[in-house]
Amino acid sequence: IEIEIISGDLEASIIYENHIAENMDTNNSYLYIDVGGGSTELTFFADGKLIFKKSFNIGTIRLLKDMVDD
């Protein structure tokens, strides 16, 4: 198994490339939140298009190990 470490920004892009927006009602806006072990990605869709994406170094493992500052 080959493992590649990717950035949170790339992860958010991959979420969009998985065609998640195709199943969304274009009359609504959506905020997709992906909470992982090391990071959390926010992806905002409107009119069936990616509008904004942001990755934060806040995930469940980081929180449990007190690795997140205020």
Segment-wise mean pLDDT, segments of 10 residues, the chain, 70 residues: 88 72 83 90 86 90 89
- Among residues 11, 18, 8, the alpha carbon closest in space to that of 57 is found at 8
The pLDDT assigned to 13 comes to 75
Tell me, yes or no, if the pTM score tops 0.85.
Answer: no
pLDDT value at residue 50: 83
Q: What is the spatial order of strands in the sheet that 40-46 belongs to?
A: 29-35, 40-46, 49-56
Nearest Cα neighbor of 12 from 50, 49, 60 is: 50
pLDDT for the residue numbered 19: 67
